[in-house]
Amino acid sequence: MKITLSKLSTKDLATLTQRTINVSDSGTYAVITNHPLLAELKTKYTDYDAVYAKQIYSGKGDEVANADKERDLSFSNLKAFLNGYRKLASVANQQSAEDLYQIFKLFGLELYKMSYSSQTAQMKKLIEELEKPENAQKLKDLKVETAFNEMKDKQTAFETIFAEQAGANADLRNQKSASGIRKDLEKTLKSFFGLLTAMRDVTDWKLFYNDVNELVKAAKNSNLQPIVNKENNPQS
């Protein structure tokens, strides 16, 4: 019963292990019932099955991107209003618009081009400055408090989902890697096959060995590459 488990695809390794467990649990072979190595194989397979098709990252990337777009839009809308209003010299509170626009300019008119973290830091500073009493009054005079509050809400929403993504990704990275779990499964499965090979000449183990050996042969065949016909490929 010879097979290089490391050469099997992720799916084929899972299939071989599952079939081996199914044969062992069929009730046909009393010699393996309640065997500690079978119990260990089941445990390793459960771990493997839970992670081998798992995404490396949390899957929250789209949510973060959408939240970022929404805060960018609210930022850009308020900035655009102030920029337009400050150019109208004849309107009331024109100087307030000019003053507030200069604050936007101070922290960056193109924050949306920054990384998530850099933009977040600048947005927090911008909001803190705009919340100062003298600037809050100017926002009120210009009747853009609602737009400012919306920008704050969008910023808070982004920070929340970004923190969730960071936490989820950290949790995933702290879990044992899929490659490590695969190696554990390969080691246990190899030991299991080794047990069957060592016992194959013992009466109660012969049929069990033969059945599992057929599974191993099938797994090896599934991993074979198609043979190229050299007559159709003269450059080989």
For 163-185, write each residue's pLDDT tens digit.
888 776 666 565 566 678 889 99
> Which pLDDT score, from 0 to 100, does residue 235 have?
35
The structure's pTM equals 0.52
Examine the domain organization and report whether 69 and 98 are in the same domain: yes
Examine the domain organization and report whether 168 and 118 are in the same domain: yes
Question: Is 27 contained in some domain?
Answer: yes
Structure confidence by residue, pLDDT tens digits, 28-72: 999 999 999 999 999 999 888 877 655 445 567 788 899 999 999
Examine the domain organization and report whether 206 and 169 are in the same domain: no
Cβ neighbors of 98 (< 8 A, separation 6 or more) are 86
Q: Of 132, 158, 174, which closes a domain?
A: 174
Question: Is 70 contained in some domain?
Answer: yes
CB atoms within 10 A of CB 208: 21
Question: Is 99 contained in some domain?
Answer: yes
Q: How many domains in the chain?
A: 2
Question: Is 209 contained in some domain?
Answer: yes
Examine the domain organization and report whether 166 and 92 are in the same domain: yes
Examine the domain organization and report whether 86 and 170 are in the same domain: yes
Question: Is 232 contained in some domain?
Answer: no
Examine the domain organization and report whether 96 and 135 are in the same domain: yes
27: left (phi over 0), alpha (psi -120 to 50) or beta: left
Examine the domain organization and report whether 153 and 187 are in the same domain: no
Question: Is 233 contained in some domain?
Answer: no
Question: Is 65 contained in some domain?
Answer: yes
Question: Is 139 contained in some domain?
Answer: yes
Q: How confident is the model at residue 226 (pLDDT cuts 50, 70, 90)?
A: very low
Tell me what the mean pLDDT of segment 82-107 comes to: 95
> Which pLDDT score, from 0 to 100, does residue 231 have?
34
Residue range(s) defining the domain that contains residue 125: 61-174
Centroid of chain to Cα 188: 28
**Using CA atoms, how far apart are residues 197 and 186, in angstroms rounded to an integer?**
16
Examine the domain organization and report whether 119 and 155 are in the same domain: yes
Examine the domain organization and report whether 48 and 78 are in the same domain: no
Tell me what the mean pLDDT of segment 117-139 comes to: 95
**Percent of the chain at pLDDT exceeding 70:** 86
Examine the domain organization and report whether 137 and 196 are in the same domain: no
**Using CA atoms, how far apart are residues 219 and 15, in angstroms rounded to an integer?**
8
The residue type at 100: L
Q: Is residue 234 predicted with pLDDT exceeding 50?
A: no
Examine the domain organization and report whether 145 and 219 are in the same domain: no
Examine the domain organization and report whether 46 and 128 are in the same domain: no
